[in-house]
Structure 1
Amino acid sequence: MKTIKEIHKASYHPIADLITYNPLPSPKLRQIDPFIFLNHHGHQTYPKNNNGLPFGPHPHRGMETVTFILEGDIMHKDSGGHESVINAGGIQWMTAGSGLIHAEVSSDKFKKEGGDLEILQLWLNLPAKLKMTKPRYIGLQKEEINHFELEEGKVYVQMIAGDWENNQGSFDTLWPISLSTVHLKKGGKIQKDIPQEENVFFYIVRGEVKIQGEKVPFRNLIEFNNDGKSVAFEASEDAVVILGHAKPFNESMVAQGPFVMNTNQEIMQAYQDYQEGKFGTWE
């Protein structure tokens, strides 16, 4: 088994009236290459006639975002012409690549009626050779995402990318990565083979899991050593885990604001290109 290197508790960083916890990056952990950033919004309940999510138009370059909608909804619009409203259980995958402008806000229905909201956004780095790839966006509702069950129904896996138990991910990726959302009922167990050289992303969204004899509650990110070929855990209460793994890029990374590049010069160029309107227009 891969042994635990350290457990990182998410810190509280509210954004306007949005409850937000952030486990990555942290003072002790810059990245789990190529996983570079995670915001965990909620759980919270919005009243009727609320303002919804506060993420109006903003640019990105050099990375990808994967957005997990556990409760509520999210309305996406970008300068590439993509628009969608994804509801609870759905996933968004956006490749910023060479650059785009997008907004992530709540639907008019959610702002009018209110309700529960819990959304996570994970940033994935892009390798240098793909930094300037053409932007793209795909949003899938819950029923469109491949899934399977284990442990006689105690474990429900949403297969987002890669493959597991001969089940293929729902999103075609530009580089090899495995990513899934794992829902476990109390007592549900998982053991997944993961190549020794791959880095593991393991975040507990809800509940509590027992791993290597230690109980770890939600809003914790587990960092593993590259010393084994599998990860095993059990739900000590109903739980939700985001589980990913990939080979590290082992490249220099400069992250500044919404841009993730390899050098400071590329960051300066990103700001210049954005100011010159090269990320597309926003109406």
Structure 2
Amino acid sequence: MKTRKAIHAADYHPIADLITYNPLPSHKLRQIDPFIFLNHHGHQTYPKNNNGLPFGPHPHRGMETVTFILEGDIMHKDSGGHESVIEAGGIQWMTAGSGLIHAEVSSEKFKKEGGDLEILQLWVNLPAKHKMTKPKYIGLQKNEINHFKLDEDKVNVQLISGEWEGQKGSFETISPIMLSTIHLKAGGKFTKSIPQEENVFFYIVKGSVELQGEKIPFRNLVEFNNDGESVSVKASEDAIIILGHAKPFNEPIVAQGPFVMNTQQEIMQAYQDYQAGKFGSWDHE
């Protein structure tokens, strides 16, 4: 088993009226290469006639965003012409690559009717050789994503990318990355094989779980040592976790605002290109 190195509690950083916790990066943890950033929005209940999510048009380059919609919805629009509304249980995977502008806001229906909202966004780095790849966006609803059950149906795995016990994830990725959302009923357990050299991304969204007898509550990120070849989890109560693993890129990283590159010069170039209109035009209302 991989032993846990540290537990990192998510810091509270509200954005406007949006409840937001941020476990990565923190003052003790810069990244879990290639996983570099996580925001956990909610859980909260919006009233009728609300303003919805506050993420209007903004640029990205050099990384990917994976957005987990647990409750509520997200309306995505970008300068590449992609547009969708993804509802509860769905996933968005956007490859910013060479650069694009996008907005992530609530649908008109959600703003009018209100309701529960809980959304997480994970940033995944791109290796240097793929930083300037063509931008791409795919949004899948809950029923379009591969899922399977374990431990007499007490564990439900939503397999986003990579492979697990012969099952294949619903998103093709540029670099080999395994990523899943796992719902566990109290007492449910699983063991996932993970190569020793791969880094593990493990975040508890709801409930609490046990790792090698240690109980860890929600809104905590677990950092593992590269000393074993599996992770074994048992739910202390009904729980949701996000589990990912991948080989680290082991490349220099310079992150500034919405851009994630390898050098400061590349960051400066990203700002210049954005200001010069090279990320596409934004003509959405």
Name the CA distance, whole Å, in 2 between partners of 1:162 and 1:4.
23
Name the counterpart of 2:210: 210
User: What is the match of residue 73 of structure 1?
Assistant: 73
How far, CA to CA, are the matches of 1:132 and 1:250 in structure 2? 18
Distance 2:23 2:188 in 1: 25
So what's the TM-score if we normalise by structure 2?
A: 0.99
Unaligned runs of 5+ in 1: none
2:247 aligned with 1:243: no
Counterpart residue number, 1:188: 188
* 1:85 aligned partner, one-letter code: V
> Any gaps of 5 or more consecutive residues in structure 2?
none
Distance 1:46 1:58 in 2: 24
Query: Displacement, 1:159?
Result: 0.5
Cα offsets for 1:28-84 (capped at 9, x unmatched): 000000000000000000000000000000000000000000000000000000000
Q: CA deviation at 1:213?
A: 1.3
SS of residue matched to 1:272: helix
| Amino acid aligned to 1:13 | H
Query: Partner amino acid for 2:189?
Result: K
Shift of 1:4: 0.5
Distance 1:271 1:137 in 2: 22
Is structure 2 residue 162 aligned with structure 1 residue 145?
no
Structure 1 counterpart of 2:238, one-letter code:
D
How far off is 1:16 after superposition?
A: 0.2
Provide the residue aligned with 2:268 in structure 1: 268
Equivalent residues in 2 for 1:85-104, closer than 5 Å: 85-104=85-104
Counterpart of 2:282, as a letter, is W
Secondary structure, counterpart of 1:268 in structure 2: helix
Could you tell me how far apart the structure 1 residues matched to 2:26 and 2:129 are?
27
**1:100 partner letter:** L
Hey, what does 2:132 align to over in structure 1? 132
Structure 1 position 90, deviation (Å): 0.1
What TM-score results when the alignment is normalised by the length of structure 1? 1.00
Equivalent position amino acid for 1:7 in 2: I
In structure 2, how many angstroms separate the alpha carbons of the residues matched to 1:213 and 1:7? 14
Match of 1:172 in 2: 172
**Partners in 1 of 2:218 and 2:238 — Cα distance?**
11
Report the number of matched residues: 283
The one-letter amino acid of 1:46's match is: Y
Give the corresponding residue for 2:57.
Answer: 57
Query: Which whole-Å CA distance do the structure 2 matches of 1:29 and 1:151 have between them?
Result: 33
> Identity of counterpart residues, as a percentage?
83
| 1:282 equivalenced with 2:282 (yes/no) | yes
- 1:30 is matched with 30
Residue aligned with 1:271, SS: helix
Cα shift at 1:147: 0.4
Query: What secondary structure does 1:148 align onto?
Result: strand
1:165 CA displacement = 1.2
What residue identity is the alignment partner of 2:236? S
Tell me by how many angstroms 1:232 deviates.
0.3
Is 1:227 aligned to 2:244, yes or no? Answer: no
Secondary structure, in 3 states, of the residue corresponding to 1:152?
coil
SS of 2:237's partner is strand
Quote the offset at 1:87 in angstroms. Answer: 0.2
Distance in 2 (alpha carbons) for counterparts of 1:225 and 1:60: 31
Partner Cα distance (1:35, 1:202) in 2: 10
User: Partners in 1 of 2:165 and 2:71 — Cα distance?
Assistant: 27
Q: Distance in 1 between matches of 2:190 and 2:262?
A: 36
Shift of 1:212: 1.4
State the Cα deviation string for residues 167-201 of structure 1 (Å, max 9, x = none): 10000111101000000000000100000000000
**CA–CA separation in structure 2 for the residues paired with 1:167 and 1:17:** 39
Q: Deviations over 1:213-235 (max 9, x none)?
A: 11000000000000000000100
What is the letter of the counterpart of residue 82 of structure 2?
H
1:12 maps onto 2:39 in alignment: no
1:199 aligns with 2:225: no
For residues 117 and 206 of structure 1, the distance between their equivalents in structure 2, rounded to whole angstroms, comes to: 14
Separation of aligned partners in 2, 1:152 and 1:228: 26
